[in-house]
């Protein structure tokens, strides 16, 4: 009998980048303990005080490019899984990340969707064009596409804005044999609803790999807790050796 291909969808959040030196949002020492969400992560904040919002993202962009931030063992293991899984099970591995950093691509992942955008890109509020951005954004820049001045913003998804590539993500969730959630607290929708979607629209096995139980922990069929750089390489070795083992 022909065996069905086994696609894998992996949702990642800030926890996977913590051991690379980037702060999470909702942990005790997280970003939201230092700045107020409403002041920096909403379209209203950008309209009221663009300099403050640009400053917040300029600092995070500088930190990412500063030289000390590198992928860790968890990012590396997921890149390995993407390369080796097709030979093992004929399926495809896709990472859907909520993170705006570039650590998955730096580790070698290719099938990657940045549902909350990318800090190393700018978007023009006038024409919608998206362009590479490694410098501070502020007053005076012009859009490389339409040449309008002062219309560039970070290419990130703020609260109240629609995350990117949602139709493609739901198609992938409905056609996966395994849904893995890594390093996310399950506080932010629609990402927090992906586990339920994968369970109810398909036959996916679902597993949470996190430092601690997330908001939606009970929805997962399986869970393992610990630092991502320990858990993920071990789980990838297990998957490549034994395949998807439903517990």
Residue 187 contacts ligand BJW per CB under 6 A: yes
Catalytic residue among 116, 197, 201, 205: 116
Residue 53 contacts ligand BJW per CB under 6 A: no
Helix (H, G, I), strand (E, B) or coil at 140: coil
Burial class of residue 79 (count of CB atoms within 10 Å of its CB; 0-12, 13-18, 19+): buried
Q: Locate tokens 């998206």: which residue?
A: 130
Part in contact with ligand BJW (CB under 6 A); list of ranges 19-27, 87-95, 103-111, 136-144: 19-27
Give the Cα separation of 40 and 122 in Å (integer).
16
Cα–Cα distances in angstroms (integers) from residue 23 to residues 6, 11, 184, 227, in the given order: 33, 18, 12, 14
Part in contact with ligand BJW (CB under 6 A); list of ranges 10-18, 76-84, 133-141, 173-181: 10-18
What string marks each residue from 153 to 172 as x (binds ligand BJW by CB under 6 A) or -? ---xxxxxxxx---------
Give the Cα separation of 109 and 87 in Å (integer).
16
Query: In the bound complex, what is the minimum distance in angstroms from residue 125's beta carbon to ligand BJW?
Result: 16
Give the count of alpha carbons within 13 A of 186, CB side only.
20
What string marks each residue from 103 to 142 as x (binds ligand BJW by CB under 6 A) or -? -------------x--------------------------
Residue 73 contacts ligand BJW per CB under 6 A: no
Q: Which two tokens stand for residue 38?
A: 């409403």
Task: Return the residues of window 77-106 that contact ligand BJW according to CB under 6 A.
Answer: 98, 100
| Active-site residue, 116 included | yes
Residue of 9, 10, 11, 41 interacting with ligand BJW (CB under 6 A): 41
Residue 75 contacts ligand BJW per CB under 6 A: no
The answer to whether 15 and 184 are in contact (CB under 8 A) is yes
Query: In the bound complex, what is the minimum distance in angstroms from residue 2's beta carbon to ligand BJW?
Result: 37
Query: In the bound complex, what is the minimum distance in angstroms from residue 19's beta carbon to ligand BJW?
Result: 5
The answer to whether 82 and 111 are in contact (CB under 8 A) is yes
- Closest CA relative to residue 141, chosen from 131, 154, 151: 151
Q: Which residue is nearest to ligand BJW (CB)?
A: 15
127 phi and psi, to 5 degrees? -110, -10
Give the Cα separation of 92 and 84 in Å (integer).
10
Task: Return the residues of window 189-228 that contact ligand BJW according to CB under 6 A.
Answer: 189-190, 210-212, 214, 227-228
Give the count of alpha carbons within 13 A of 227, CB side only.
8
Residue 184 contacts ligand BJW per CB under 6 A: yes
Residues found near ligand BJW in the complex (CB under 6 A): 13-15, 18-19, 24-27, 30, 41, 98, 100, 116, 156-163, 183-185, 187-190, 210-212, 214, 227-228
């Amino acid at each position: 009998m022909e065996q069905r291909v086994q696609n894998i969808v992996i949702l990642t959040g800030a926890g996977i980048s913590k051991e690379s030196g980037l702060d999470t949002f909702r942990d005790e020492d997280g970003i939201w303990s230092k700045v107020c969400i409403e002041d920096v992560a909403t379209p209203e904040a950008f309209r009221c005080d663009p300099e403050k919002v640009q400053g917040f993202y300029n600092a995070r962009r500088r930190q990412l490019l500063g030289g000390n931030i590198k992928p860790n063992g968890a990012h590396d293991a997921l890149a390995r899984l993407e390369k080796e899984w097709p030979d093992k099970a004929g399926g495809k591995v896709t990472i859907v990340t909520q993170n705006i950093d570039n650590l998955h691509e730096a580790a070698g992942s290719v099938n990657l969707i940045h549902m909350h955008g990318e800090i190393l890109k700018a978007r023009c509020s006038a024409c919608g064009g998206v362009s590479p951005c490694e410098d501070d954004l502020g007053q005076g820049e012009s859009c490389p596409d339409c040449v309008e001045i002062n219309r560039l913003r970070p290419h990130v998804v703020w609260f109240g804005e629609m995350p990117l590539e949602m139709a493609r993500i739901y198609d992938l969730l409905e056609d996966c044999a395994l849904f893995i959630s890594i390093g996310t607290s399950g506080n932010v929708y629609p990402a927090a609803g992906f586990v339920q979607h994968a369970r109810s629209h398909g036959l996916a096995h679902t597993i949470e790999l996190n430092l601690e139980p997330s908001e939606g922990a009970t929805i997962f069929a399986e869970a393992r807790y610990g630092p991502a750089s320990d858990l993920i390489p071990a789980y990838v070795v297990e998957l490549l050796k034994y395949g998807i083992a439903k517990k």
